[in-house]
Chain A
Amino acid sequence: MKKKFNLEDLDCANCAAKMEEAIKEIPGVINASVNFLAQKMMIEAPDDQFDAIVEKAVACIAKVEPDCKVIL
């Protein structure tokens, strides 16, 4: 499954790159991207693990930039 999420208050381009790196390292993630300009996160992961992976990704984002919120 591939899904896009909107992000709020993503203020730093460097952080977006760091988030992307961190999310890609979550086990099970096939592909992921964090687009600074579009303020969007894309996650591609197997259906059965998807929700768990999204949860981990949200935690990754909070770790890099606590102000940044994922709109689920």
Chain B
Amino acid sequence: MTKKQKAAFIRIIITALIFFPLLILEHTGGLDKLPLAARIIVFLIPYGIIGYDVVKKACRNILKGKVFDENFLMMIATFGALAVQEFPEAVAVMLFYQVGELFQSYAVGKSRKSISDMMDMAPEYANLETEGGISSVDPDDVPVGSIIVIKPGEKIPLDGVVIEGDSMLDTSALTGESVPRRIHENDDIISGCINGNGTLRVRTTKEYDDSTVAKILELVENASDKKAKVENFITRFAKYYTPVVTLSAVALAVLGPVISGGGVASVSKWLLRACTFLVVSCPCALVISVPLGFFGGIGAASKKGILIKGSNYLEMASKVDTVVFDKTGTLTKGEFKVSKVIARNMTADELLEIAAHAESYSTHPIAVSILEAYERVSAETSATGGTKDREEGSEKSTSGRIDPSRIENAHEDAGHGVDALIDGKHVVIGNGKHMDKHGIKYDPCDENGTIVYVAEDGRYAGAIVISDTVKDGASEAIDTMKRAGVNKCVMLTGDREAAAKSAAKELKVDKYYAELLPGDKVSKVEELLKSENEGSYLAFVGDGINDAPVLARADIGIAMGSMGSDAAIEAADIVLMDDDVRKISTVIKISRRTMKIVRQNIVFAIGVKLAVLVLSAFGITNMWAAVFADVGVAVLAILNSMRTLKST
């Protein structure tokens, strides 16, 4: 509790200690013999202790010409109760109002704290290397190009390049996944990660304000500035609600005695009912709990490595109907890999081995893919005990390394292929034209992707198919999205029809459009936007590198795999910090949950208030219930909103 809360707490205790004995006396008739003036004084003591600040604030606001303030309304309501000689009622209302306020302030403080704990990735200091040794300074004071030292277990304070040391980085604060990332000299590192067990020397490349962690924190903090439709509705509602309720209270006090025909005798009864109206006239429960709900939802998402740039996007995400994907880099890895090895007259491993050796001097992307595949396959065989090659000499096929002594006369024919002597045998690798040139007969292969033919000593030995591979979890992502309620998944790509078709089939997307130029993607998305129903939205998912116009055009632009990429963070509305497409369904789930809680609060708060208003107009309820409808509902709504913070 803060100082202010403690003071309020003590006042509440003292008031309760005086008030409850008085209440008992009042009900047992112990105060009946006292003259009216004495009774007033007896009750004014606890009223003064608990309510003096409310009255003070109310008077001050009146002097400034501001009515319709919460304090003013509470003062009028309790003065009304005092005027009609309902002394215990006046004290009780003020007491419960203060209890509620205390709870409310405590609950708000709690939620503020849990939000700030969650965003606890801001670094407190940086170890700056200076001539006089290492000094701990504020990250804000470190100029670009300084050398900082990051010790094991410390937070990376600024973006930079490692100049010495290697370590593992825990990126979980940024990505929500605690998969450690290995880093070495010359690697870029980004702030907000936690250093593993190695000491690093880093040359900073950005000032603190421009570094990743500061940007993310600012983004999340400012997210509540972009208001959701529901929030705007609440703001408008609050603007009219208080004056309307206050005016009805006046109407009730004036017209009540006239219409009911009760005459002067019933004035006090109607006045009390009118005062009850005033107690319920503050829209606080809504004004606090709705933004808090959105804040919590955005916080819960950021904990999972999802940045949402505004409450409005969270609201829209809950109504996503169509998700459009860019294929390369989003659903597929965007890197070319050996997807198939068709061997003739030798094993697939042997084919890969001679191909890798022949290509080892080339830097062509295809050569790189073949070398990678060779290393991977060899590592797998050695892990399983190198089954079939064991007796032939494991130094050859299980090493996974290229042995340069086996290669002679390597020669590259740019754009066609290579040829070389491997273990004294003439190996020719390349496309169909390259085979024709060397007079080699081959079986044309119609697999999808780039085909590389391999021949040994003039004899066709097989083909290697290289294609872009689908990301791990991409088809699962589409499946979970569908189950989360997305109606249509569409894939856009600049690739050839055949490649698009096979990827679409593997991923089970509903529709795909192939051979699109970058400009075509925008018009396709516009076309799809037109076919969208009222009240449902379209999300576009891209890697944020060259699809900024499409990201901007879609209702919700989702950029992914962009840890540390400024361009993507700028262009998108929602940023997935890691490469995981599966997070899209997480976003949808969090948004649905947030919207559900927000709606619960709205219905609950407005419902209870209306009920109390109606009941008190007919005199069925009393001021105590009204106090609950005011502060009690606010506290419950705040507690409910805090559930959005919990991850789904």
Contacts and interface: CB of A to CB of B under 8 A. Distances in A.
Nearest to A18: B66
B112 A14 contact: no
A28 interface: no
22 contacts: A9-B4, A11-B101, A11-B108, A12-B284, A13-B284, A13-B288, A14-B70, A14-B238, A14-B284, A17-B235, A33-B225, A36-B291, A37-B291, A37-B292, A37-B295, A38-B115, A38-B221, A38-B224, A40-B221, A66-B57, A66-B60, A67-B4
B287 A13 contact: yes
B268 interface: no
Contacts of B437: none
A32 B2 CA distance: 28
B105 interface: yes
Given A12-B70, A17-B287, A35 B221 contact: yes
Contacts, number: 43
A37 B115 contact: yes
Interface of A: 9, 11-14, 17, 33, 35-40, 63, 66-67
Contacts of A63: 64
Contacts of B287: 13-14, 17
B284 A37 contact: no
A12 B108 CA distance: 10
A67 B101 CA distance: 15
Nearest to B290: A13
A37 B238 contact: no
Contact of A37 (B4, B64, B224): B224
Given A14-B284, A67-B4, A37 B111 contact: yes
Contacts of B64: 63
Contacts of A36: 288, 291
Contacts of A9: 2, 4
A14 B2 CA distance: 21
A13 B225 contact: no
Nearest to A37: B295
Contacts of B224: 35, 37-38
Given A11-B105, A12-B70, A37 B112 contact: yes
A63 to B, nearest CB: 7
A39 B221 CA distance: 10
A17 B288 CA distance: 11
Contacts of B283: 14
B521 to A, nearest CB: 33
A19 B115 CA distance: 23
Contacts of B225: 33, 35
Task: Return the 7 tightest CB-CB contacts between A and B, nearest first.
Answer: A13-B288, A13-B287, A14-B287, A37-B295, A38-B221, A11-B105, A33-B225
B140 to A, nearest CB: 12
Given A9-B4, A33-B225, A67-B4, A39 B284 contact: no
B34 to A, nearest CB: 37
A67 B7 CA distance: 14
A37 B289 CA distance: 11
A11 B60 CA distance: 18
A17 B287 CA distance: 10
Contacts of B105: 11
Contacts of B70: 12, 14
Nearest to B2: A9
Contacts of A66: 57, 60
Contacts of A17: 235, 287
Interface in B52-93: 57, 60, 64, 70
Interface string B266-310: 000000000000000011100110011001000000000000000
A13 B221 contact: no
Nearest to B104: A11
A14 B101 CA distance: 14
Contacts of A11: 101, 105, 108
Nearest to A67: B4
A66 B69 CA distance: 14
Contacts of B108: 11, 37
A21 to B, nearest CB: 11
Contacts of B295: 37
B580 to A, nearest CB: 28
A71 to B, nearest CB: 14
A3 to B, nearest CB: 12
A16 B225 CA distance: 13
Contacts of A14: 70, 238, 282-284, 287
Nearest to B238: A14
A13 B60 contact: no
Contacts of A67: 4
Given A14-B70, A63-B64, 18 more contacts: A11-B101, A11-B105, A13-B287, A14-B238, A14-B283, A33-B225, A35-B224, A35-B225, A36-B288, A36-B291, A37-B108, A37-B111, A37-B292, A37-B295, A38-B112, A40-B221, A66-B57, A67-B4
A37 to B, nearest CB: 5
A39 to B, nearest CB: 7
A69 B169 CA distance: 40
Contacts of A40: 221
A67 B57 CA distance: 10
Interface in B1-43: 2, 4
Nearest to B60: A66
Nearest to A63: B64
A22 B288 CA distance: 19
Nearest to A14: B287
A23 B70 CA distance: 21
Given A33-B225, A66-B60, A39 B112 contact: yes
